[in-house]
Each structure stands twice: as C-alpha cells, then as structure tokens.
Amino acid sequence: MKPSHFHYLRPQSLEEALEMLQAYGEDAKVLAGGQSLIPLLNMRLATPKYIIDIGGLDELRYIREAEGQVRIGALTRHVDVEKSGRIAEACPLLGAAVQRIGHSQIRNRGTVGGSIAHGDASAELPCVLAALRGEVRIQSTTETRVAAADTFFLTYMMTDVQPTELVTEVRFPVLPAHTGWSFQEFARRHGDFAMVTVAAAITLDGSNRIAKAQVAVGGAGPVPTVLTDLEEAIVGEEPSSALFESAAAQVGDVLEPDGDLHGTPEYRVQLAQSLVRRALDDATSKVGGAFV
Amino acid sequence: MTQRVAIELTVNGRPVRAEVEPRLLLADFLRDHLELTGTHLGCEHGVCGACTVLLDGDPVRSCLALAVQANGTHVETVESLTQEDGSLHPIQQAFADHHALQCGFCTPGFLMTVRGIFDDLPGMTEAQIREAVSGNLCRCTGYANIVRAVQQLQRDLQLQAVRDPATRSGSRVDDRGALRDTARSEVK
C-alpha cells in the first residue's frame, strides 16, 4: 500500500503548470488535495510517470461572485466552501452538499477542482454542478474554455478535461429568489461514498406554482443524471406531495445504475425514487421570501 | 536514478530538513524517518483515521499526503500532546478517565482529531462532537466512552473559561488558531 515510483514536479505558477501539462500531460496526473488520487496511488490503481503537484498555486484558491455565479478557484478546499458565509447565502445547496463529502479530515485537504476533475459519479459536487447547470473553466497553454456540466462528465471517472488541460475554476449558479433547495444522500455509513445522491432546487412564482425545477441524481449511472423530464413535468404545477410522489415514480425510466456489492440496480432505482421525492418536498418547504 | 526532493517543515515545534523520495507518504516520513511512531497506519487509504495529524492546525490523514506536500508546513503529531514534564494533555487525561480506549491503536488519531476541534469544543453540541470524530474508526470501544471523554473535556473547558477567562489566552491553542487563520487568509 505504497505509491510506486513517479517523477515529482511542483510548478510555482499556473503558467508553469500548464507548460508541464503540455510537456508531460499524457503520462502525468495532477495532484491537488490528493484525497482521491493518493488512495489510487497507494493501491497502485494509478501508476503515473509524473505527478504535477499544483498545491503551491495560491492563485487558484478563491471564492468570488460574478455574472450570477459563485466562482470557485480549483484549489479551494472543501472546508473553505463549507465555512463560507458567502456560499451559505448565494448557493446554500452547495454549502449543504459539501458537508457530506467524506469526513472533516478529508474536507480539510480535498479541493473543489479535484473533486470535479476526478468525476466520480457518486460524488456530491458533480451532482450539484449537474443539477444547477454549472460550468467548469478549463485551461491549457493554448486555450481557455468553459464547459457546461452536461458535456463535462463523460462516463465513470472520465471528464472532458484533456491530458494537457487543467480545471482552474468551477462555477455554480447563484440560487434565484423564492428558491428552495435540498441535498439528499444515502450512504451505508456516515461519511462513506454515497450510494445515491440527489440535488434539487425549486423556484416558486407569485401564485405558488413551480416556475423552475432543477433536479439531478448521482450514483445511479456513469455520470450525474439531470432529470429533465421530471423538471418539465412539474413546472407550472402547484407543489404537493402527490405531485412529487408521482413524478419521482417515473425516474426509474431514465436511470441506469449498475449493481454492485452494496446494492442491485433495482434497489438503487428505488432509493433514487425515495430520495427524489424527499428532495422535492424538502426543497419546496425551504422556499423563502415574500412575494410583493 | 531515484529522484529526491528537499523539504523543510516544522514538526512538533522543531524545524526538520530532509531529502525524501516523492512517493514517501507523510505518515511514513513521520514514523520511519523521524521515528515518531505514535502516528499509526491502519488502512493506508484514508478510511480509518488512525494516522490523523495536524497540518497547519487542521486534522488531516497523513496517509493521504505525500511528505513533499508537507514542505513549508507545521505538522503536529500525537507526540506533541504530552507536556514536557511527562504529564498527560487534558485530552489524553479525559480519554484515560473515561476508558475511551482499549487496544489503543486508533487512539492517536482520535486524540489529534479532538486536538483539532479543541478551540471550538466549549460551544459544540453532542451531534457536532459525534460528527467531528466520525472520521475515526475504533473497533474496541463502541464510541460511547470516546464521546463521553470529549464531553467531559468540554465541561472542563467551559468551567475553566468561567473560573479564569485569562487562562485561555496566550496558550499554544491560540497560536495554532492564528496559524490556521494565516493559512486560510487567501480564501475570504
């Protein structure tokens, strides 16, 4: 349970990091907080030739707001998101989801960019990013581009980030007024990898009807699944438990979870249905702010 | 030829310089190079918490950090808890008083996790205490006595704050808090 040999590179600036990726990217792994990569190294599931440690790039540690988005530098640690008053205000769904990542010792090291770039289908941040239609800024020596969440996650642990590219910023939309949110997760033990996660945001209009619904499921397929059919079906309706119950019953049609040691595909679908229903109820109950 | 990387860090208040292989884990650096064998390695992939140390004031898993990543940081291990005269730290005393350990393998990790929340402990709820120690596994005690020990420590700290508010300032605890604030100053 020790990493195999690798060559260690520690860039001092983003520019230098991107140059190293250009030169060695095909044979390299980027090390940020290391909370996903180092277990893979320890178990030798990953044996890269080069490790590019971007831990020194303080320019990638920030939380800002711009153009209706919370923009988080890739190296920002989960704990900083968890404790950020700005995020609690602007995107409380994200604040709640981040608390479910591993344990405090993990959140003290793990980074937002790392979690997104790792692309674990059952992880919390990809689910929230997918639900809210967030974006990821990706840079290389030749290009800076912004990928939408729905094209970013490709399949299990595979994202749109190319070997010579680096995730430098993750963008979560600020929740609009009159919006309630919910993050539901089921894991066999507290802090374990989730079996299924659900992120939801519900916006009501002045006549108490659903103006906007955003719902995604994680852990029930190779990438987080946005429930677009469900979203469309409940928009314009008056929220009720009956509505949510019947809407959630349909999610089995779009989910294709694999079975594993911890649960069959059928079980995961049932779990997703229950968590979606709970998330919709919970999100609606959290809608605040008076209509004038 | 095997690459070696020069690192400089502070371990338990003492400056340390070394040249290490980049693949060396922080836990193995502490145990094998510095002979600080109080840090225990259980699972070596970030699940059990036995290897918890403080890195710039925050509890982290030393099996999920490379020694080279600790370059320029302040690391505190369980060895930092015992006072110079050999007496136990209040956290250790509370664990001893409440039978919060049996075989003791996981204990260094628990002690350092609790060390990490020491400053905030007086205001924490039982649920928050349980959440805080939930990243450490113990196969002997069933956790009840560990939580009792931390709650006893909490009461002691609350009483101490009431009786003598001055004792809390100027302690090592506050230095550590300042260190953490400095490390976090970028993100605000």
Among A21-35, A258-272, B71-85, the least confident range: A258-272
* Dist. CA A131–CA A203, nearest whole Å: 13
Residue that is last in its domain, among B54, B78, B102 = B78
Among A65-74, A196-205, B158-167, B171-180, the least confident range: B171-180
Among A95-99, B28-32, B167-171, the least confident range: B167-171
Is residue B62 one of the residues assigned to a domain? yes
Q: Which long-range contacts (CB under 8 A, 24 or more apart) does A243-249 make?
A: A244/A276, A244/A277, A244/A280, A244/A281, A244/A284, A245/A277, A247/A276, A247/A277, A247/A280, A248/A273, A248/A274, A248/A276, A248/A277, A248/A280, A249/A273
Is residue B167 one of the residues assigned to a domain? yes
pLDDT reading at B175 higher than 50: no
Tell whether the torsion through CA atoms of A121, A122, A123 and A129 is positive or negative. Answer: positive
Same domain membership, residue B37 and residue B67: yes
Under a CB-based contact definition with an 8 Å cutoff, are residues B48 and B106 in contact? Answer: yes
Is residue B84 one of the residues assigned to a domain? no
* Band of pLDDT at residue B184, cut at 50, 70 and 90: very low
Among A20-24, A219-223, B64-68, B93-97, the least confident range: A219-223
Under a CB-based contact definition with an 8 Å cutoff, are residues B117 and B179 in contact? Answer: no
Residue located via tokens 């540690």: A61
Give the residue numbers spanning the domain of B126. Answer: 90-187
* Chain B contact for A58 (CB, 8 A cutoff): yes
Which tens digit of pLDDT belongs to each residue from A213-261?
A: 999 999 999 999 999 999 999 999 999 999 999 999 999 999 989 888 8
* Chain B contact for A31 (CB, 8 A cutoff): yes
Mean of pLDDT values over A26-45: 97
Interface of B with A (CB under 8 A): 2-3, 5, 21-23, 25, 28, 44-46, 49, 52, 55, 58-61, 63-66, 68-69, 113, 116, 131-132, 134-135, 184, 186-187
* Band of pLDDT at residue B171, cut at 50, 70 and 90: very low
Question: Which tokens go with A5?
Answer: 């040999």
Burial (CB count within 10 angstroms: exposed 0-12, middle 13-18, buried 19+), residue A190: exposed
Same domain membership, residue B171 and residue B138: yes
Same domain membership, residue B64 and residue B19: yes
Same domain membership, residue B73 and residue B96: no
The CATH number of residue B142's host domain is 1.10.150.120
Q: Are B135 and A105 inside 8 Å of each other by CB?
A: yes
Percent of chain B predicted with pLDDT > 90: 81
Mean of pLDDT values over A39-49: 96
Average predicted confidence (pLDDT) for chain B = 90
Which tens digit of pLDDT belongs to each residue from B131-164?
A: 999 999 999 999 999 999 999 999 999 999 888 8
Is residue B56 one of the residues assigned to a domain? yes
Best probe of the B interface among A103, A120, A170, A188, by most B CBs < 10 A, is: A103
* Chain B contact for A61 (CB, 8 A cutoff): yes
pLDDT reading at A7 higher than 50: yes
Burial (CB count within 10 angstroms: exposed 0-12, middle 13-18, buried 19+), residue B68: buried
pTM, entire model: 0.92
Q: Are A105 and B113 inside 8 Å of each other by CB?
A: yes
Mean of pLDDT values over B37-49: 96
Strand partners, A45: none
Same domain membership, residue B176 and residue B98: yes
**Amino acid residing at A160:** D
Same domain membership, residue B95 and residue B45: no
Number of structural domains (chain B) is 2
pLDDT of residue B186: 40
The CATH number of residue B35's host domain is 3.10.20.30
* Band of pLDDT at residue B166, cut at 50, 70 and 90: low
Chain A residue numbers touching B2 (CB-CB < 8 A)? 5
Is residue B42 one of the residues assigned to a domain? yes
Residue that is last in its domain, among B35, B54, B78 = B78
Same domain membership, residue B162 and residue B97: yes
Is residue B104 one of the residues assigned to a domain? yes
Same domain membership, residue B95 and residue B20: no
Q: Are B184 and A55 inside 8 Å of each other by CB?
A: no
Nearest Cα neighbor of A38 from B135, B180, B28 is B28
Which tens digit of pLDDT belongs to each residue from A158-174?
A: 999 999 999 999 999 99
Residue that is last in its domain, among B44, B78, B112 = B78
Is residue B52 one of the residues assigned to a domain? yes
Is residue B83 one of the residues assigned to a domain? no
Nearest Cα neighbor of A270 from A233, A217, A193 is A217
Average predicted confidence (pLDDT) for chain A = 95
pLDDT of residue A289: 67
Same domain membership, residue B73 and residue B155: no
pLDDT reading at B169 higher than 50: no
Q: What is the DSSP letter of A111?
A: B
Same domain membership, residue B72 and residue B45: yes
Same domain membership, residue B182 and residue B94: yes
Best probe of the B interface among A104, A111, A170, by most B CBs < 10 A, is: A104
pLDDT of residue A288: 78
Burial (CB count within 10 angstroms: exposed 0-12, middle 13-18, buried 19+), residue B154: buried
pLDDT of residue A193: 87
The distance of A233 to chain B (nearest Cα, Å) reads 38
From the list A8, A41, A79, the residue facing B68 with the nearest CB is A8
From the list B5, B44, B52, the residue facing A105 with the nearest CB is B52
Same domain membership, residue B178 and residue B98: yes
Q: Which residues contact A102 (CB under 8 A, 6 or more apart)?
A: A35, A110, A191, B46, B135
